[in-house]
Amino acid sequence: MKAAKLLVVACLLFACQASPARAASPDSLYPPPDPAALGNDISWPQCGGDLPAPPGSAVIGVNGGRANTTNPCLARQLAWAAGTTGAAAGTPAAVYVNTANPGPGASWWWPSSNIYRGTDVTNPYGICDGTGTAACAYVYGYAMAFDDVNLRGVTDPARRMWWLDVETGNSWSDDTAANAADLEGMTAYLQSTGAEVGIYSTTYQFGEIAGAVDPGSNLYRLKSWIPGATSTASAQAKCASAPLTAGGIVALTQFTAGDLDYNYHCPILPQEPPTLEPPTPQPVQIPHRAHAIQLVN
């Protein structure tokens, strides 16, 4: 987790929260001393500040630090990201969204049924009854993702990579199964639009929040974005880290230089087909034939 260097008034406005992005300062607008093909992630902490020259790739924060808020500089930052090399080649910049499972007692809104904005949410956990169950957490996650896609101002959402920012700095239930259901609901809605989804977190934080992900979960094969590197070289080395979910891969790693986050795209190696063991030879069974025996008197 990284604490952004922000003015107190910004904390009051946006409910200070750890996230992939940091506030920029003039001293941090230059590449780190070990340059490579890197990208940056930015969000509401960069509002009002100068942005670096568009890098090769970018990830833009959709929210203002909490799952139910909007980054007030989203439009400007998406326009900046349109100048990245990747966007110029036809791939819109990725985005990330804050996640949470606050439960019925601590949320500005909590579902009481499987209906959200007139849509009956297909819920693998059953019927939401307004409590803190996995069924209601799933609808809450679905609803947050719906709003992120349709209400925040993200252009061309279906063609973007969406990263779920999963950190302990937000509100979570003690029930890891309910938290996982919340993330599954978000993933289900985002994937229903045609978008690709991944997870940003550390192994510790993701384990504390969501526990071990079952192979039947739609989280199981998502790509991982891993923070915690200290340089380009260590970001490259982190590509060999274990993914956040056993069926996924590490696609992106992150380090901080000055007040900016830099992201390294890990090489995605083609998956080799499983090695098939040759069949074990089986003994040939010769059918027993009865022989007629002629008795001689």
pLDDT attached to residue 23: 46
Instruction: Write out pLDDT tens, residues 237-251.
Output: 999 999 999 999 999
**pLDDT at residue 217 is higher than 60:** yes
Mean pLDDT for the chain?
A: 84
pLDDT attached to residue 282: 53
pLDDT attached to residue 259: 81
Q: What is the pTM of this model?
A: 0.82
**pLDDT at residue 20 is higher than 80:** no
Q: For 181-203, what is the mean pLDDT?
A: 98
- Please give the Cα distance from 176 to 193 (Å, whole number): 26
Q: Which of 18-22, 35-39, 159-163 has the highest mean pLDDT?
A: 159-163
- Exposure string of 136-172, with b = 16+ CB inside 10 Å and e = fewer, is bbbbbbbbbbbbbbeebebeebeebbbbbbbbebbeb
Cα angle for residues 80, 159, 264 (degrees, 5° grid): 60
Q: For 20-47, what is the mean pLDDT?
A: 65
pLDDT attached to residue 84: 92
Residues recorded for the chain: 297
Q: For 9-33, what is the mean pLDDT?
A: 46
CA 92 centroid distance within chain: 17
Q: Worst-scoring range by mean pLDDT, 2-6, 26-30, 155-159? A: 2-6
Q: For 49-53, what is the mean pLDDT?
A: 87
